[in-house]
Amino acid sequence: MDRRMFLGAAGAATLASIAPSALANTSAKYQVAAYYFGNYHVDPRNEHAHGPKWTEWNLVKNATPRFPGHHQPKVPLWGYKDESDAQVFAQKIDAAADHGLDAFIFDWYWYNDGPFLERALEKGFLHAPNRERLKFAIMWANHNWTDIHPAKLTAPPFLQFPGAVTAETFRRITDHCIEQYFRQPNYWLIEGCPYFSVYELMRFIESFGSRTAAAEQIAEFRERVKSAGFPDLHFNAVVWGEQLLPAQTEISDLKPLLHELNIDSIGSYVWIHHTQFRTFPTVSYDDIAQQYEKYRATAAAKAGKPYFPNVTVGWDSSPRACQTDTFINRGYPFTAVIEGNTPERFGSYLESAKAFLDASGNRHKILTINSWNEWTEGSYLEPDTERRLGYLEQIARVFRP
């Protein structure tokens, strides 16, 4: 199948006739975007690794309590549905838009041998009949993909897909984004510029061999975006100071690096990128939040770039740990579980983030949330049978009163 055909009737509009300036966000005082992790549909790579019809729902279903009081498994209120089904995705869009979300930022994968997990976006979201209710953007998740589905306690995870790519692959990635995503009428623009985020800056630099070469790749990407009719590219970088997934690299000398790469803004994916788990097997939500907010207070000054804050729903990566292994403190995904992350406490940190945005001086009051559906990391807005719509209702309360 020609990948240019995946947009169907919804994407077949004459987008070239739409002026990029007309697509810019001009009315919203705050913009609230949730990260979306698309591993809840069948993908050929996963089938090869884990068997026919495997999705990450398998880990959600098979999760077990690992200590007294541990609430597992989590059960989705809407069932274990296929996100690559446009009607299934329409339910997600309506719930998100009805409760004050403005955009989904898709965790988006493309390796040297091609795309991965793209069907949530390309078959689900972009074919949904109500897709215009929500904007969308890309965060290129350029980390090494390792087999943590589940991870074993006694063996290092197997590297399945290396995150570093060639310059030729990066050109294919960005050409695809320009032609197939940026031109969509509901792509997320900041002052008319498409928002594009990279998850691992150091992996990005590693791909091209040096900071200078990486900067040249970004500059060339910008020129192609401008040639497509946009005023520029908004290049966002996810940054953190703590290692999380296997092989992630801590970033040092951040300010000169961001300046050399000509990064437009920085953000966070999840609070625990900036915090320490000081107890096990549980850790207080308030403790993690307060550690993060200490980081947040100086993030922009230390980076020399606008910082878009984050609010994290929770944390429990135990479904990604082998359920027959002893649950001991051995690093991701054998990590502590956040407790006390009620919708009400989540709402209080939304209020804190809103106040931070008001005081920050940022031209754009953008907040990211981790996440819409990180079910196997215990950080999701999507309703389950315990909290139901509670987290979404807090977004509506704080940002759409």
Domain coverage including residue 46: 3-8+28-399
* pLDDT reading at 92 higher than 50: yes
Would 13 be classed as within a structural domain?
no
What is the tally of structural domains in the chain?
Answer: 1
Q: Which of 236, 307, 241 is nearest to 274 (CA)?
A: 241
Report if residue 23 sits inside a domain.
Answer: no
Residues 6+ apart with CB under 8 A from 63: 72, 73, 74, 318, 319, 323, 376
Question: How far apart are the C-alpha atoms of 225 and 182, rounded to whole Å?
Answer: 9
Task: Look at residue 21 and tell me if it is in a domain.
Answer: no
**Residue 229 pLDDT greater than 50, yes or no:** yes
Kindly state the tokens that stand for 314. Answer: 């929770």
Whether residue 16 is contained in a domain is answered as: no
Average pLDDT over every residue of 294-309: 96
How does pLDDT run across 143-154, given as a tens digit for each residue? 999 999 999 999
State the Cα–Cα distance between residues 188 and 185, nearest whole angstrom: 9
DSSP 336-353: -EEE---HHHHHHHHHHH
In a domain, 15, yes or no: no
- Alpha carbon separation from 176 to 66, 82, 180, 181 (Å, rounded): 43, 24, 6, 7
pLDDT confidence bin for 20, thresholds 50/70/90:
very low
pLDDT score for 401: 73
| pTM (predicted TM-score) | 0.91
**What are the pLDDT digits (tens) for 170-197?**
999 999 999 999 999 999 999 999 999 9
The residue whose two tokens read 């009428």 is 185
Q: What is the pLDDT of residues 23-73, one digit of tens each?
A: 333 334 999 999 999 999 999 999 999 999 999 999 999 999 999 999 999
| Residue 22 belongs to some domain of the structure | no
Domain containing residue 142: CATH number: 3.20.20.80
What six digits make up the tokens of 210?
């040096």
User: Does residue 17 belong to any structural domain of this protein?
Assistant: no
The verdict on residue 253 lying in a domain is: yes
Average pLDDT, the chain: 91
Q: What number is the average pLDDT over the span 139-168? A: 95
